[in-house]
Amino acid sequence: MTDVLVIGGGIIGLATAIALSQKGANVTIVERDRCGRGATWAAAGMLAPEAEGLEGNLLDLGIRSRDMYPQWIASLRRLSGQECGYWCCGIIAPVLFSSLECDRIAISTHPKYISLEESRKRQSGLGDSVLGSLWLPEDGQVNNRKLTQALLTAARSLSIKILEGTTVYQIVRDRDRVTHLDTSAGKLQSDRYVLATGAWTRALLPLPIKPIKGQMLSVLDCDRKLQRVIFAPSCYIVPRQDGTIVIGATVEDNGFTQGNTAAGIAQLLNNAISVYPAIADMPITETWWGFRPHAPNEVPLLGRSDYENLILATGHYRNGILFAPITAKLITDFMVDGIADSTHLQ
Ligand code: FAD
Ligand code: GLY
């Protein structure tokens, strides 16, 4: 028996488990693989509510979460002793000569628009395809893979029980309550449950979540001249502090099709080289792919489900790394303190 069973050990499950534990709950995480090996591992780690073009309540949620990051990272550092590559480096979102004329005109009147000359002052080496850009100094990045390691260590330091290699086969219900989980390790039971299974949610409950594949690659920048994230219309380029540059990502609606394709990687490289030509000479260090959990209107499913003791925390689509701290807070406020944020929770 445990107070809360969190199903799924990605960034959302880990962050929520830690926040619940810090409020006194006895928490267990059930993860079929290793924690943080789903979309959380595949991501670029951008903290980019503005560059991603979020709007309305979602933009508000993204900015609140981005603002929480410095303190959240500091608290994880205290618990884990680990760095997460959090870097408020700013994002340059180039407008390209090839953009539609109407888009170019609209963007050039944006309050955050800067000329090509100003763009080059913020980041040298931009390609000839760049006409100008939006300069978004508050957007930034975190190294999502390091963050996962820090979350795991922090969770262990709080005595959160982590059952890796344990698959939940079925959420067993009786009327409007979950009674237990059928898992590869037998029956698991708890007072309450949090569903944080990302793109695989539909295998457990008929919720409108589908996978959207993203292919990625990385190159090595020995000179480390790239110091800003570049978020172009058809690719983004994310420099890590160790010289790795992460380039992403395709957006493919073809289910759980595994693997990188030549066309996917070629498309990313061509687009990236046109906005930052130095990439052409950098060695490729890794290629990978992952599945974003897409929800209708790209709005995560947070809060109540059809079952009174099952809470939803899924469907974060393109921004789950960004949304992790605010998700953990909203779910914990709701489950422990009974505070239901009616704007963001269902
Ligand atoms: P996941 O990390 O996928 O975790 C779900 C976990 O549940 C998995 O570990 C899985 O094994 C487990 N699970 C599923 N079913 C079961 C079961 N039946 N039993 C037990 N365990 C189960 N977001 C950003 O904010 N910034 C970015 O720059 C960014 N870039 C991205 C780039 C790509 C290519 C991709 C694919 C995503 C990107 N994202 C980004 C989105 C972000 O990665 C996701 O929104 C986020 O990781 C979702 O976290 P999660 O914990 O819900 O899902
Ligand atoms: N947020 C970047 C991506 O999902 O590709």
Range of the domain at 317: 2-84+143-209+296-337
Distance from residue 209's CA to the centre of ligand 1 (Å): 12
Do 177 and 193 fall within a single domain? yes
What was the pLDDT predicted at 2?
Answer: 63
Give the closest ligand to the alpha carbon of residue 327.
1
Do 76 and 24 fall within a single domain? yes
Do 173 and 157 fall within a single domain? yes
Last residue of a domain, one of 275, 294, 313: 294
Give the mean pLDDT of the chain. 96
Q: Whose CA is nearest to atom 1 of ligand 2?
A: 318
* 320-337 vs 11-22: helix crossing angle, rounded to 10: 30
Do 261 and 313 fall within a single domain? no
DSSP string computed for 133-196 = EEEETT-EE--HHHHHHHHHHHHHHTT-EEETT--EEEEEEETTEEEEEEETTEEE-EEEEEE-
Number of domains the chain contains: 2
Distance from residue 128's CA to the centre of ligand 2 (Å): 25
- Tokens matching residue 343: 């704007």
DSSP string computed for 230-243 = EEETTEEEEE-TTS
What was the pLDDT predicted at 99?
Answer: 80
What was the pLDDT predicted at 103?
Answer: 80
Instruction: Give domain status of residue 95, yes or no.
Output: yes
**Which residues, at least 6 apart from 130, have a Cβ–Cβ distance to it below 8 Å?**
94, 95, 96, 97, 116, 119, 275
Instruction: Give domain status of residue 282, yes or no.
Output: yes
Instruction: Give domain status of residue 215, yes or no.
Output: yes
Do 130 and 160 fall within a single domain? no
Q: Is the pLDDT of residue 329 over 90?
A: yes
Average pLDDT over residues 155-168: 98
Do 217 and 125 fall within a single domain? yes
Do 150 and 287 fall within a single domain? no
pLDDT one-digit tens code per residue, 43-101 = 999 999 999 999 999 999 999 999 999 999 999 999 999 999 999 999 999 999 888 77
Place of tokens 């209107």: 297
Average pLDDT over residues 153-179: 98
The pTM score is 0.97
Distance from residue 319's CA to the centre of ligand 2 (Å): 7
Instruction: Give domain status of residue 345, yes or no.
Output: no
User: Closest ligand 2 atom to the C-alpha of 319?
Assistant: 1
Q: Is the pLDDT of residue 1 over 60?
A: no
